[in-house]
Structure 1
Amino acid sequence: MSRSHTPKTPSTARIEPGPGQESVWDYPRPPRVEETGEHVVVTLGGAVVAETSHALRVLETSHPPVYYLPRSSFAAGALHPAPGASLCEFKGQAAYADVSAGGVVAAAAAWFYRTPWAGFEVLADHVALYPGAMDSCTVDGETVTAQEGDFYGGWITSRVVGPFKGAPGTLGW
């Protein structure tokens, strides 16, 4: 059964999706993982660091999708272990990676789950990226807009409507 959610802030209202669009307020909590055949290309330092048509989208209430790319879709040497870790209440312990290409290093701009928790095992061997730390991320040729804030890492395309959690003042949504 699907539940529709609405933002808890009275000054914001759920944007009604148009044809071919999704509202992030219709995404579930806990999140859902789905395969996508969309063509995803990520560039940094003027070079392609990842390209795939086998990404996964994690969909969670109020958040733009987070794209997880197969580790095998990254260029050789693009990912380097970075310090730090975080805990997702659904997916488990995340580790971080620096992303580098073309002489540019995006520190701790990628994360992954070595051993995802039950229900999210499919994320093993996949890596997510903060799109705002890259030169560009495209989905089926459309340039992604990064979700505001530096915590969630959602990818905004014309396919999704909000309002989106992440900007200042939205933490309590």
Structure 2
Amino acid sequence: MESVWDYPRPPALEPVARPIRIVFAGRVVAETSAAFRVLETSHPPVYYLPRAAFTGCDLEPAPGRSVCEWKGEARYWTIRAGGLVAERAAWGYPDPTPPFAAIRDHLAVYAGAMDRCFVGDEAVTPQPGGFYGGWITGDLVGPFKGGPGSMGW
């Protein structure tokens, strides 16, 4: 078991050993064995896939930006597939800070906006709250930031 309370702050970046798969509109829209995950205290991991892994969908720039004190400025993407649209369902850091340079040209996806997201063969649960984009797997122990009353953690 892995406790999110053992994750560091500032966050750590590590390669992912298991394949990652994202399903939207009933089709695989992204798949890779070359993902990274960001591990931050109290958060389930956020998975970043190479942009080239998104072969089963169209990606369109979406309005808005946000800033992470650790990774830099994020830009958002809309995912279109099979006639369905997931607005601002993905984000990435086009010019990340040096410790996160490996996730340049990578995108993370809100699991709750997709049909299913998988780490290996396991379907993930989205991080609670809708603001953060972590993916919860069965080997994680919380509590997880994002739910009611956790914004001040």
Mapped to 2, the partners of 1:77 and 1:38 lie a distance apart of 22
Counterpart code for 2:140? V
Corresponding position: 1:36 with 2:16: yes
Question: Residue by residue, what CA displacement relative to the aligned partner does 1:43-87 show, whole Å, maximum 9, x if unpaired?
Answer: 110111100111101000000000000111111642111001000
- Which of 12, 18, 32 is 1:52 aligned to? 32
Residue of structure 2 in register with 1:71 after alignment = 51
**C-alpha RMSD of the superposition:** 0.9
Counterpart code for 1:118? P
Residue of structure 2 in register with 1:162 after alignment = 142
Question: Residue by residue, what CA displacement relative to the aligned partner does 1:126-167 show, whole Å, maximum 9, x if unpaired?
Answer: 100000000000111111000011211100001211000000
* Structure 1 residue 118 displacement after superposition: 2.0
Mapped to 2, the partners of 1:51 and 1:76 lie a distance apart of 9
Q: Which has the larger radius of gyration?
A: 1
**TM-score (structure 1 length as normaliser):** 0.86
* Percent identical residues: 59
Question: Residue by residue, what CA displacement relative to the aligned partner does 1:72-126 show, whole Å, maximum 9, x if unpaired?
Answer: 1111642111001000000000000001111111000100001001211111011
Mapped to 2, the partners of 1:95 and 1:150 lie a distance apart of 17
Alignment partner of 2:99: what SS?
A: coil
Residue of structure 2 in register with 1:62 after alignment = 42
Mapped to 2, the partners of 1:92 and 1:68 lie a distance apart of 15
Counterpart code for 2:11? P
How many residues are aligned here? 153
Mapped to 1, the partners of 2:110 and 2:57 lie a distance apart of 18
Bigger strand share: 2
Corresponding position: 1:105 with 2:85: yes
Corresponding position: 1:141 with 2:121: yes
